[in-house]
Every structure is written in structure tokens, then in C-alpha cells.
């Protein structure tokens, strides 16, 4: 038998009695399954003839039928087992029916028609072949209240290679060949769970898993170009060079640098112009203190003009207006003049005015 009714633990260590067989717990029973191409009998696995096929059920199920431990899956398993046992009643050497996959045909209703991929296993010394097996199933389908259709499947349909990472090489014992960029590990049989051999750090690559599928990616700060991983352009970083924060900083820094440089240049120009351009009033005062270029006076020029008295005037009868120059009895009260008379004071109606004598 391919299943065992048990109570308590459905799969105890001795359920299937062989290291080659695997115990699978359903909802209330357990079944013993061998590797592809072998059937289970008397607690051991035996080489078999393989007849894969696909049947469509008349019954409708919910998506829970795809869960091995559900009541619906167990119902499908038991009904299919009875159907094929009755179909092969006139054939010798029938050993076991194995469910490979259950698929829902539509996704718009709560209850859906179901497609089941199966493998019918016969003993190696059986006289059954593809024609006799197909004919027996077709005859049983006509009078079945459970199975509506049957078609022959390929060995690859039943072998169930991982189509994401492999392609199947058709044979009675198919092979799952790795697609490009994938390689197998010692644990792989029907899938390729590792990246290609050139996916190494020396090539600036690393192998990652995305939803269970290996993917060769470029290391951070590298991007893929012409199947090679090259360094990111200036200003870019991160995975696949998607981070442009450095570029933003460079642009902002350049703009601010240009602004600061413009301000420095503007301040420098203003400062230079300020040195060559003085206040007109200040320039007038400085100019008024210059000495007569026609004189030989070598005294230093001052900002403010000197006041000149008439001391030593050529006219002996001239009386100076400067009290410091007056000859009087109070002469001793004033300090003597210690400067030359270059200017004299004249009285005018609007006030005093300095008048140059020469």
C-alpha cells in the first residue's frame, strides 16, 4: 500500500521503514513516497515503469486543496487512488499512483475545477506500455463520476524541474539543466540555487537570493554595463549607483563656492575704488593746506592753513590786528609770536576772512 492509517504521530521515524522513502503526513493518514521513478512496497523503494498524465476532476474545490495536510487534498488523493486502481484492474504489475501537482484552473470563484498531474508506476516486469495504460484510463473516464478528462503528459511535466532556474531535458529520467548565470550545488536536484562561477568579488559581483532565486548583482558603488560591473560615476553611489546624494552635495557646494567667490571679488573691487576716491570736502581741506609752489618755503604742508600776521611788514606805520603783535604796555601779558605771518585777517560785513598777504 502507498498509505498507512495511523493514530497519534502520522510520521514516526519507522513509518516508511527505508531511508529511500519519505513519509508525507496528510490530514488523517500518512503516505510513503520514493524518489522519481521508484514505487514504495514492503517498506522499500523499487525501480518502476513511469506513465505520467494529467486528469481534470468533475468535483470543485477551494484553494486549500493544494495544501498537503488539508482535508480536501486527502479526499482528492483517496479518490484518485481508487480511480486508477479500478482503471488498471485488467493490467498486471500496477504498483502506485503519485500526485505530482494540483492546480486550480480558474481564479474567479470560491469553488474551482481542478487539474491533477499524476505518475502511474508499474513494476519493471510488467507488460504495460503507453498505449495500454492510456486506453485503460480513457475507458475508466467514460464511466467515472469523479474524473472528466485525461491526457498523456511528458516526463518533464512529471519531473517538476524548477523552471525559474532550469530547463528540463526530456527522458524517462529527465535532467534539470541550469540556465545561464546559474549553477547547482551538491544539494540541488531539480533547481539551481547558486550563481554562475564568474559571480565573484574579483569581478565586483556577489550572489544574492531574491524570492528563492539566485541573482548575481554588482557590489555597492558599482553598476552593470555590458555584463560587467564598473565603478559608479562621480557623484553616485550605493546599489546600482542609485544614490545621487553626493552629486547634489557637489552641485550645492559648487554654487555656494561661486557665490562666495563673487562676493570676495566684489568686496575687493569696492575696497580698491574706495582707496582712490576720497571725500570732496576732505580733499578740499587737504588741498587748501598746500604751500605756494612759487615760494621757497619748505615747511611741511598741513591740512589747515596757517594764520599769517603782519609782523615785520614793510610799512613801518602798519599796526597789526593780531593782539599778539601789538606794541603796548601790556606786551608782557601775551606770549611772543612763534610763527610767520603768511595770512592776515580782514574784517568784512559778513564776518572774518583769512587773506593771504602775498
Average per-residue pLDDT for the chain: 79
pLDDT of residue 304: 52
Nearest 5°: CA angle at 351, between 349 and 353?
110
| Close Cβ partners of 29 (under 8 Å, ≥ 6 residues apart) | 3, 4, 5, 6, 10, 74
Distance of CA 274 to the CA centre of its chain: 56
Does residue 267 have a pLDDT over 60?
yes
pLDDT of residue 144: 93
141: helix, coil or strand? helix
Domains detected in the chain: 3-159 (3.30.70.960), 285-358 (no CATH)
> What tens digit of pLDDT does each residue of 330-353 get?
555 555 555 555 545 555 555 555
| Close Cβ partners of 109 (under 8 Å, ≥ 6 residues apart) | none
Residue 152, Ramachandran bin (φ over 0: left; ψ between -120 and 50: alpha; else beta): beta
pLDDT of residue 257: 82
Q: Bigger pLDDT: 168 or 234?
A: 168
Contact 219, 225 (CB under 8 A): no
Contact 80, 2 (CB under 8 A): no
> What tens digit of pLDDT does each residue of 117-165 get?
999 999 999 999 999 999 999 999 999 999 999 999 999 999 989 999 9
pLDDT of residue 337: 56
Amino acid at each position: 500500500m502507498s498509505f498507512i492509517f495511523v493514530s497519534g504521530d502520522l510520521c514516526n521515524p519507522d513509518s516508511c521503514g527505508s531511508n529511500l522513502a519519505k513519509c508525507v503526513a496528510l490530514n488523517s493518514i500518512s503516505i510513503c513516497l520514493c524518489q522519481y521513478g521508484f514505487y514504495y512496497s514492503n517498506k522499500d523503494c523499487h525501480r518502476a515503469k513511469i506513465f505520467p498524465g494529467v486528469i481534470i476532476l468533475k468535483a470543485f474545490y477551494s484553494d486549500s486543496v493544494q495544501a498537503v495536510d488539508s482535508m480536501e487534498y486527502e479526499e482528492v488523493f483517496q479518490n484518485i487512488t481508487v480511480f486508477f486502481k479500478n482503471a488498471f484492474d485488467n493490467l498486471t504489475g500496477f504498483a502506485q499512483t503519485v500526485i505530482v501537482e494540483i492546480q486550480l484552473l480558474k481564479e474567479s470563484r470560491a469553488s474551482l475545477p481542478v487539474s491533477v498531474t499524476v505518475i502511474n508506476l508499474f513494476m519493471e516486469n510488467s507488460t504495460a506500455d503507453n498505449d495500454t495504460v492510456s486506453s485503460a484510463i480513457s475507458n475508466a473516464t467514460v464511466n467515472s463520476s469523479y474524473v472528466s478528462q485525461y491526457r498523456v503528459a511528458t516526463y518533464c511535466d512529471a519531473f517538476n524541474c524548477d523552471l525559474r532556474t532550469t530547463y528540463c531535458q526530456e527522458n524517462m529520467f529527465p535532467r534539470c539543466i541550469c540556465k545561464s548565470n546559474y549553477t547547482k550545488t551538491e544539494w540541488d536536484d531539480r533547481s539551481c540555487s547558486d550563481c554562475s562561477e564568474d559571480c565573484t568579488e574579483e569581478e565586483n559581483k556577489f550572489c544574492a537570493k531574491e524570492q528563492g532565486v539566485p541573482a548575481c548583482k554588482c557590489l555597492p558603488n558599482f553598476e552593470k554595463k555590458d555584463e560587467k560591473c564598473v565603478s559608479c560615476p562621480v557623484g553616485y553611489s550605493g546599489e546600482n549607483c542609485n544614490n545621487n546624494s553626493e552629486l547634489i552635495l557637489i552641485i550645492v557646494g559648487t554654487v555656494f563656492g561661486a557665490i562666495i567667490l563673487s562676493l570676495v571679488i566684489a568686496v575687493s573691487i569696492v575696497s580698491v575704488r574706495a582707496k582712490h576716491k576720497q571725500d570732496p570736502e576732505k580733499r578740499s581741506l587737504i588741498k587748501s593746506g598746500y604751500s605756494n609752489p612759487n615760494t621757497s618755503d619748505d615747511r611741511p604742508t598741513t591740512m589747515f592753513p596757517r594764520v599769517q600776521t603782519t609782523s615785520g611788514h614793510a610799512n613801518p606805520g602798519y599796526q597789526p590786528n593780531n593782539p599778539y603783535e601789538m606794541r603796548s604796555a601790556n606786551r608782557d601779558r601775551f606770549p611772543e609770536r612763534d610763527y610767520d605771518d603768511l595770512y592776515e585777517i580782514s574784517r568784512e560785513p559778513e564776518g572774518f576772512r583769512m587773506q593771504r598777504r602775498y
